[in-house]
């Protein structure tokens, strides 16, 4: 009997801590800080809304209740992703 190959595994990320200046996310054994000043959509969000994070792909995190998403690359190299258009 042959079993089929499983699909691509996307390890779910998780919010690990929320503090006054932002929150921490753990994705594939890497921890990232999301500052509220840089991502103001989260500043007035409820704790429940922040914890409702989904990992849509290897590169994208999404918060459905806030209709907000962040590319993991933007957290790893924020200097390549300016948040203000010039």
Instruction: Tell me the pLDDT tens digit for each residue of 14-63.
Output: 999 999 999 999 999 999 999 999 999 999 999 999 999 999 998 999 99
CATH fold of 14-80: NE0471 N-terminal domain-like (3.30.2020)
Count CB atoms within 10 A of the CB of residue 53: 23
- Is the pLDDT reported for residue 9 higher than 50? no
Structure tokens at 1: 């009997």
Which pLDDT value is given to residue 50?
97
**Rounded CA separation 64/53 (Å):** 7
Structure tokens at 27: 């994705």
Planar angle of CA 59, 64, 66, nearest 5 degrees: 105
Which pLDDT value is given to residue 80?
82
**Largest interatomic CA distance in the chain:** 59
CB 23 within 8 A of CB 15: yes
- Is the pLDDT reported for residue 7 higher than 60? no
So where are the chain's domains?
A: 14-80
In this predicted model, which residue has the larger pLDDT, 12 or 78?
78
């Amino acid at each position: 009997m042959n079993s089929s190959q499983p699909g691509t595994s996307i390890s779910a990320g998780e919010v690990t801590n929320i503090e006054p200046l932002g929150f921490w996310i753990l994705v594939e054994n890497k921890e990232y800080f999301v500052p509220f000043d840089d991502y103001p959509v989260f500043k007035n969000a409820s704790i429940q809304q922040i914890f409702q994070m989904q990992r849509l792909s290897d590169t994208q995190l999404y918060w459905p209740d806030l209709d907000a998403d962040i590319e993991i690359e933007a957290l790893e190299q924020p200097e390549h992703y300016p948040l203000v258009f010039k």
